[in-house]
Amino acid sequence: MKKTVTTLADGRELLYYDSHDDVVRDAVDRRPLDAVSTSSEIRRDPLLGDSVAIASHRQGRTYHPPADECPLCPSRDGRLSEIPDDQYDVVVFENRFPSLAGDSGRCEVVCFTSDHDASFADLTEEQAALVLEAWTDRTAELAGFEQVKQVFCFENRGAEIGVTLGHPHGQIYAYPFVTPRTELMLRSVEAHRERTGGNLFDDIVARELADGDRVVLTGEHWVAFVPYAAHWPYEVHLHPRRRVPDLRELDEGARTEFAQIYLELLRRFDRIFGPGEPSTPYIAAWHQAPFGVPGREEFGLHLELFTIRRTSGKLKFLAGSESGMSVFINDVPPEAAAQRLREVASE
């Protein structure tokens, strides 16, 4: 992998990640951009104890542009975009409309491919491995920022999820606090250790493998399963068999196999609802250990993949119980979801 660091016309950082070392990246951003002005602010909710990012400047962000005006495509044929070069493998750059900025953290965009009409599932194993390298490199660098407490790599796919740019891309949020979901996990891990002497992540993976009913895919280094208490109609958790706290700690075997396992998982997601159905909307979220907290080494890196579509043509809405009380009601039994994801392997 070759990494090239440059800056955009307004001073934001942009990084090219290339599969080949002989690639030269010297294109200059020729757009007449003003300096980025953000109003991101973190406010803490005194009742719930969680944090909310107030970012009013995001109201003016780019919204569903036509394909020939996509800001994530390469700069070609006289049209200038966020990426100055006329082609790329993987690109990461600071978000022009960040939810978090300065002392409030950092937001980055990850473009998986220059092909506007592709999706992550269309990538080759080599391309998917390069994305993993980019995620890992950004985690390592952002971990060194004094204000950053946790790095979150994720992808939103599909208009139903709320995606405003159709180009295949994801994001990286560097939070200045530990997120509520992660705090809950850390508390559960600590309580499990005190109660049983074991590690909760290890024991969950071992239980799912022993049970087998909810296992979707297995490899030498990874296992994918629908969790026992899945919140979403179709939800899969992907764990490395050797527990590590974050992406930096994956060994070469796990890195190599990840592309194979993850691409197969995404392709099965697109077949859940049968032929002729549109691509399945989903969120793919890496859960990594926060930095500088007790019990960090007990945390287990894993990827959570889920769709808000519950059946053909119908979405799972977060209504009263979910939105008002954070109590999910799942219409699809996890065992049935796992069975369906195993079945679609041959479709």
Name the residues annotated as catalytic: 169
Distance between CA atoms of 290 and 245, rounded to whole angstroms? 9
The answer to whether residues 333 and 340 touch, using CB atoms and an 8 Å cutoff, is no
Q: How far apart are CA 174 and CA 114, in angstroms?
A: 24
C-alpha angle 158-164-168 in degrees, rounded to nearest 5: 55
In the block, tokens 């909710």 appear at 45
Give the Cβ contact number of residue 77 at 10 Å.
7
Count of beta carbons in the 10 Å neighbourhood of residue 204: 18
> Are 267 and 213 within 8 A, CB to CB?
no
* Residue at 175: amino acid letter: Y
Instruction: Give the H/E segment covering residue 171.
Output: strand 169-175
Q: Give the 3-state secondary structure of residue 126.
A: helix
| Residue written as token pair 């099965």 | 268
Inter-residue contact 38 to 101 (CB < 8 Å): yes
Convert 280-312 to b/e letters by CB count within 10 Å (16 or more is b): bbbbbbbbbbbbeeeeeebbbbbbbbbbbbbee
Contact 260, 125 (CB under 8 A): yes
Query: Residue 186 in contact with residue 299, Cβ under 8 Å?
Result: yes
Helix 252-269 crosses helix 125-142 at what angle (to 10 degrees)? 120
Can you tell me whether residue 193 is helix, strand or coil? helix
Give the HSE-up count for residue 209: Cα atoms under 13 Å, Cβ half-sphere: 15
